[in-house]
Structure formats: structure tokens, C-alpha cells
Amino acid sequence: MKKMYIFLLFVYLSPIVHALDIDKVSFSVTPGAFIPVSSSTDYFGTGFSLDFASDFVLEKPSFLFLRGEAGYNYVPLIRNDTTSLLFTGGGLGAVFQPAERFTFKTALTSGFYYSYLNGGSSGGGNLYYRGEVLHISTSILL
């Protein structure tokens, strides 16, 4: 498990290390909730997620960026157990910024996830593919 955390840290921080210009790097933290609907309420409770991403805009062409991402999902099961999912990956995206604090993004990423039952010893992982069709955001300068 220690190797997994080191790998997650490496993938997340690698775009930062190679960045020469801090204006070319952006970070995002995205909280989320898993709310069961319909018949899934028989199996799952309300859970949460936390995703981290770092984007590094390339010099040429300047509308493309590299993305590193990592995250954690937690979902309680009705049978008094919980499941966790860790993932990490990377990919490529495109950005369009019509104004200084207004951005449109789209991205494709892939990576590896590992899911396990918190109360037991069973778990497993696989590759994942993820697409961000359209992300519209405003930024706040700190």
C-alpha cells in the first residue's frame, strides 16, 4: 500500500516539478457525493469523493495541457461494511480562455484504480478511462 501512495504522490506532483512558469500550472480539488437512488438504496448508503488534479499548459501548442489526477471515493454498504476506491492517472486536454478569469476545458485521462472493502481483506483494481466533456470555470486569484 505504501508503494501506491508514493505512486499517487509522484503522478500528482510531476507536472509541478517540470513547470518553469507558475502561470502554466493549475490545481483543482473537487468534492463530491454519492447519493443512491431507486433500487440502489437497498445496497448502498450516501458516500463521498475527493478528487485532486493538476494541469500543466504546454508552450507549443498553448491550448493543450497535461493532467495528473488522483482521488478517493468512500461508499457505505447497507450490510454494515464500507468500500473505498483510490485512483490515479494522467492524460491530455484542451483549454480555451476567452477572458483572464473564465476558462473552458475538455480532457481525456486514463489510469489505475484500486477498490477494497474496509472491513475485509478483499480488493482489486483495474484500468480506467475518464472523459471531461466540458468544464466551465472561473478563477479566484489568491
The pTM of the full predicted model, rounded to 2 decimals, is 0.70
Q: What is the per-residue pLDDT for 142?
A: 58
Helix (H) / strand (E) containing 79: none
Distances (CA, A) of 73 to 49, 63, 106, 117, 138: 4, 31, 22, 12, 26
Over residues 125-130, the mean pLDDT reads 92
* Tens digit of each residue's pLDDT (9 = 90 or more) over 96-114: 878 777 778 889 999 999 9
Report which residue type is found at 70: A
Give the amino acid at 30.
T
CA 54 to chain centre: 9
Find out whether 129 and 107 touch, Cβ atoms under 8 Å.
no
Report domain extents, the chain: 2-138
Instruction: Please tell me whether residue 140 adopts helix, strand or coil conformation.
Output: coil
Q: What 8-state DSSP symbol labels residue 52?
A: E
Q: Span 33-37, mean pLDDT?
A: 91
Strand residues in 1-142 grouped as ranges (E): 25-34, 47-57, 64-77, 81-99, 102-117, 123-138
